[in-house]
Structure 1
């Protein structure tokens, strides 16, 4: 099991505070490891670990993303996420009760700053975004919409104009397993996406199965282009998988100041 960490609310959170306060706090925890530019020896889509060919060269895509490239035209995570940073924050925020609900503030601040700085990059690259949706939760017992709360946590901050009616979860179908493409797990309003460019927002890319399955459902409904934006792309150097340890080492040395996205870097 992952070694998830706990977090103590900083003192400034009970008074006046800003996005910059939260970004500095995240930086002090080592949570701001920019995803872009993707490391050279990583998956060309998700920036994750990749194996070696018989000739000794790294593959262009990881095993999962080879199947995802027909559904996802662009993946834009803000940061790399490690077990003790963004991944732990999201886990505590979503599933450990009200005492961790304050973590929507740092997570929302990071999202707001990334959207402010790079939504225009993505929009220009895609030739215009027509529809923005979020990945519907697989969890029906949580009692709150964690992505909505997170996106609206920063007063006056940059956010995404979501359409919650376009993409919904069909809970009669089991959730996609790790690395599985299961578009039937999602329902799409076809006329809302047919011939259009759709941006999908999610919190964390781990295996990518939920985002890729939702993207496949959107493509099946006629979407012309589907891009995915996430807060984090999970990296675990302890599992010994392919070159994951090397990627973690490189990512942890990255500096947030002046960071870009995969489009503008």
Structure 2
């Protein structure tokens, strides 16, 4: 549907299983207020920082580029202002802070598109062959993130990769439970490469 507009690579930090801790934290960091929100925001920022410090170069290599010149986030289409994901990436995470740019805005009719993937969901600032790392919090269908990637490419980005904090899964849907069971058999390590089945250690 998007053709060459889709992202060149997609790297989820972790599975986020419905009803379990990580999915709960991804919900609470943007739907609570005050100290509770700050607690979850700081925890997720630390996870993103650690992941990118170890694996951003892997994601770039997967895209056959040396690095990402700009980093941006998928904006909300629900009217939420001052999204905590932007705060995380633009202000809190040291490896993204200096490269963060506001590149995307929801199109006026974005909310009417529902979950449909569409290159018209967002408008993007002009780019001149730069590489972009696009960060989102939760990937369910991936339609919002892929729509944002398409907008960046239409604006002139030569490469767009997506890093997502959590790949949301519902264990009661289809064969998801089998997939989750297989994933749990793998021993977790921060050093396990994001794009290849080997460790950096």
Common topology (TM > 0.5)? yes
Q: Secondary structure at the match of 2:157?
A: coil
Q: Within the alignment, does 1:259 sit opposite 2:192 as a pair?
A: yes
Offset at residue 237 of structure 1 (A): 1.4
Q: Would you say the 8 A contact 1:202–1:228 is kept in 2?
A: yes
Q: Which residue of 2 aligns with 1:213?
A: 147
Partner residue, 1:248: 180
Which of 52, 55, 60 is matched with 1:115 structurally? 52
Sort the Cα spacing of 1:172 and 1:69 in 2 relative to 1 into closer, same or farther, 3 A.
closer
Name structure 2 gaps, 5 residues minimum: none
Asked if the contact 2:2–2:118 (Cα under 8 Å) also holds between the matched residues in 1, the reply is no
Partner of 1:73: 8
Q: Which residue of 1 aligns with 2:32?
A: 96
> Partners in 2 of 1:264 and 1:158 — Cα distance?
24
Distance 1:150 1:174 in 2: 24
Matched residue, 2:42: 105
Secondary structure of the 2:151 match is helix
- SS for the counterpart of 2:105 is strand
Mapping for residues 26-45 of structure 1, pairs under 5 Å:
none
Q: Which is helix-richer, 1 or 2?
A: 2
CA deviation after TM superposition for structure 1 residue 106, in Å? 1.5
Match 2:74 to one of 116, 132, 135:
135
CA separation in 1, counterparts of 2:157 and 2:3?
14
Q: CA RMSD in A?
A: 2.3
The one of 100, 105, 113 aligned to 1:162 = 100
Q: Deviations over 1:91-130 (max 9, x none)?
A: 1121133253110122111101001101122234431323
TM-score normalised by L of structure 2: 0.82
Alignment of structure 1 residues 185-196 onto 2, 5 Å? 185-190=121-126, 193-196=127-130
Matched, 1:150 2:82: no
Q: Which has the larger radius of gyration?
A: 1
Q: Deviations over 1:184-241 (max 9, x none)?
A: 1211112xx23232211111111001001111112222322221111111122112x2
- Shift of the 136–210 alpha-carbon distance from structure 1 to 2, 3 Å rule, reads same
Change (3 A) 1:222 1:247: same
